[in-house]
Structure 1
């Protein structure tokens, strides 16, 4: 190979390296620009978390038997309000269940996926059931005492995923935790054959996103 050919080969290699660097820098610049735009849109719009309200609870059956088995059948009505006037909310994989003293006492019920537009209100009325659910031994006397006292504090909880939507842009999934306390008046255990207990609550729920 002549000296001239070697020189041409070296110059060509430098050209390829320079072109590669320009492409890499261009891609990095594009990614940074998109990230900055998304951040600015997010900062300007500043989404507010939704408001959940537990409207009412209807209990058809709530009966504890030995050894430490709880059977329950209840229907809850709760609503969610989107306070944002420029941001939509996508509710995905929302599991709702009832708990007593931090123990789940019904099976988780999957709410339907829902899109909530600007300033809209969504209402769900799921039925929550649990047949012969095993509870911790210490909960049995505590629950019997509450029932005999005429008041049981249940917590209606939601565990799921939400996404924010602005135009065609959709955010990543954020975990949603909702806790709605419900103080239910009792005159004794419900075996599922007598009249149901319905309590109008309009109870504000704690929301964490």
Structure 2
């Protein structure tokens, strides 16, 4: 009967142990760097601003001679939700639509900078260019006014850049879309006051 033998223990060479140690250190560094980069990305990733329609009016919209030259006034509250990122806005332009028909447009804001967690009222005073009694849409528009509910759409357009610390991101074309209804006297219906607008980049 052959004698019982203990299994031989093969010791790793110093070169192999050194390589294993270096690989473990490298993997640890890669993991730590990945976690740090992920946290930085979460903290520095720009969040889109938010826009809320606070007021809108077209005084005397119920007159029978059309809406030409009537004053169109509105106010939209802009909010920057970022804690450490500011937003640069170029000039902002507003357009008001009844269905597909443009009834007022023009520049409403000069370039401005929005601080982190800041709020800025975007106010506009435009002059209506229609519809007139000669427009095909006039009968429908006048009927909506008489019924006390006119569906309109306010569009705001601008170019924005996010400022992260000391550097700015590339420019983004921004479009704000506010859908709402006004009463027969041209004032904003209550349920649309402070409603959030759509935002597209």
* TM-score normalised to structure 2 length: 0.69
Paired position in structure 2 for 1:53: 52
5+ residue gaps, structure 1: 1-38, 188-195
In the TM superposition, what is the alpha-carbon distance from 1:138 to its structure 2 partner?
3.2
In the TM superposition, what is the alpha-carbon distance from 1:78 to its structure 2 partner?
0.9
In the TM superposition, what is the alpha-carbon distance from 1:41 to its structure 2 partner?
9.9
Q: How many angstroms apart in 2 are the aligned matches of 1:48 and 1:111?
A: 22
Paired position in structure 2 for 1:203: 195
Paired position in structure 1 for 2:94: 96
Q: How many angstroms apart in 1 are the aligned matches of 2:92 and 2:179?
A: 18
In the TM superposition, what is the alpha-carbon distance from 1:60 to its structure 2 partner?
2.2
- Counterparts of residues 68-107 of structure 1 (less than 5 Å): 70-107=68-105
- SS of the residue corresponding to residue 60 of structure 1 reads coil
RMSD: 2.8
- SS of the residue corresponding to residue 58 of structure 2 reads strand
Q: How many angstroms apart in 2 are the aligned matches of 1:150 and 1:125?
A: 25
Residues 1:64 and 1:73: Cα distance change in structure 2 (over 3 Å): farther
Higher strand share: 1
Q: How many angstroms apart in 1 are the aligned matches of 2:76 and 2:125?
A: 12
The reply to whether residue 139 of structure 1 matches residue 137 of structure 2 is: yes
5+ residue gaps, structure 2: 1-36
- SS of the residue corresponding to residue 160 of structure 2 reads strand
In the TM superposition, what is the alpha-carbon distance from 1:176 to its structure 2 partner?
0.5
